[in-house]
Amino acid sequence: MNDPRYQDVYEYMKGFLTEERLSKIEKYAEESSDFVLPVLENIYQFRNAAAIIRSVEACGFHKIAALEEENVFNPNTRVARGADTWMQVEKMPKTMSSLQQIRDKGYKILAVSPEKNAVSLPEYELKEPVALIFGTEMEGVSQEVLDFADETLIIPMYGFTQSFNVSVAAAICMYELKQKLLKSDIDYKLSDEKKLAMKIRWAVNSARSGDEVLNHYLKKHNIEAAF
């Protein structure tokens, strides 16, 4: 994203958007953040995948990482209700190497699970970027991921039921952590460079034949895409 022509790319793509859509892109880009990165471990129910995307986007976070093993991350677009238009999904193999790549980007690995002296969500002090790992629907976070994690987080339970559906757990965690950020003095929003890249993606996803339009422009101006 060091090429100064990327701003020109965005200006060009804006010409294919309605005023209403452009206004929304400019508005919601300002609140977007990747300070909390949801990481989904081998989620197999497409309704859960879509519900998680919807909740994450509603909280102003626009990227998730999907660790795939035998299951392909394939959200149901009807359940997502258009949220998938705004989300960037990075699919990665379910390996410790993938988690190490996330850690190397500056994220603390935080597994949502009651093991390892887990910290209660309301009491958790959010001080640095966190990759929040949610496990499979039946088994939760795998042992190898728990062993790799820097810390674990637990959602308090007040009834006989001792676990939430994974999509509900994700919604609770993302909303609670967003509230913590809003009340803090942490600079949690996207950098100008990341924000521009995101706005280009949103414009492309919003325009009719957006990918073709973008690729034609990039080829014509000899620009290499990095977004």
Q: What is the pLDDT along the chain (227 residues), one digit of tens a residue?
A: 667 889 999 999 999 999 999 999 999 999 999 999 999 988 767 788 888 999 999 999 999 999 987 666 666 555 444 677 899 989 999 999 999 999 999 999 999 998 878 999 999 999 999 999 998 767 789 999 999 999 999 999 899 887 888 899 999 999 999 999 999 999 999 999 999 999 999 999 999 999 999 999 999 999 988 77
Residue 117 has a pLDDT of: 85
pLDDT at 2: 67
First CA to last CA across the chain, in angstroms? 7
- CA 188 – CA 129 distance, rounded (Å): 8
Q: Report the pLDDT value the prediction gives residue 207, as an integer from 0 to 100.
A: 93
Residue 155 marked ligand-binding: yes
CATH architecture under which domain 32-181 falls = 3-Layer(aba) Sandwich (3.40)
- Alpha-carbon distance of 88 to 65, in angstroms, equals 8
Output the pLDDT for position 45: 76
The pLDDT of residue 79 is: 43
Give the C-alpha separation, 25 to 16, whole Å: 13
Please tell me the predicted confidence (pLDDT) of residue 108: 98
**Cα 190 from Cα 195, distance rounded (Å):** 6
Please enumerate in sequence order all residues whose Cβ is within 8 A of that of 100, keeping only pairs 6 or more positions apart, or say none: none
Q: CB atoms < 10 A from the CB of 131, how many?
A: 21
pLDDT of residue 75: 60
Name the pairing type of β-strands 151-154 and 108-112.
Answer: parallel
